[in-house]
Amino acid sequence: MRDKKGSVYEGGIREPGIIRWPGKTQPGSTSDEPVCGVDFLPTVCEITGIAPPTDRKLDGASFLPVLSGGTVRRTTPLYWHFNQASGGPQVALRSGDWKILATLDKSLAPGVAITAETEANFKAAELKDFQLYNLREDIGEKHDLAKEQPAKLNEMKALLAANYQDVKGESPTWPAWQPPAAAGKKKK
């Protein structure tokens, strides 16, 4: 797969998971259904019979059906946002087999300090430079379909833009912070 940790390409966000739940999961079974960390709260709520919180928007969906060979019933596509990605796109969204990625017009390299200016840049950043992939046909994200599939690109851009605005609007403003390497250099 393309790229590595610190990236929103599949090589940076896709990793295997293992679940053992005697009497609930079939030993040796596998699934290609994508799930994400945001799916854990809705799953635990369903398992325990507790209603999910209603005082906030939940991006995830229960993956309990996957444990018996089913699929996740998503109302919100999978979404990743990494302001200090290791290069290339910082935002990605997956809907079914399709994945769209975008860069931000204001971004920072990994390890940059958080300041009032960087926080303002993150809050003002807009999406640009879109890439489109069909992961069923191209798991390595080698063939960008953005120019070949303009209708699908526009559909996915609308989904991405809506999710991006939601996340940007809900994201906190972080206090000032120096990366540990930079802080250590200043102590000399």
Residue 99: what are its φ and ψ, rounded to 5°? -135, 135
Rounded CA-CA distance 81/7 in Å is 10
pLDDT at 110: 64
Rounded CA-CA distance 19/96 in Å is 23
Strand partners, 25: none
Q: Does domain 10-170 have CATH number 3.30.1120.10?
A: yes
What average pLDDT does range 106-131 have in this prediction?
81
Q: How far apart are the first and last CA of the chain?
A: 41
Per-residue model confidence as pLDDT tens digits over 123-179: 888 999 999 999 999 999 999 999 999 999 999 999 999 999 998 888 877 788 787
Please give the model's pTM, rounded to 2 decimal places: 0.85
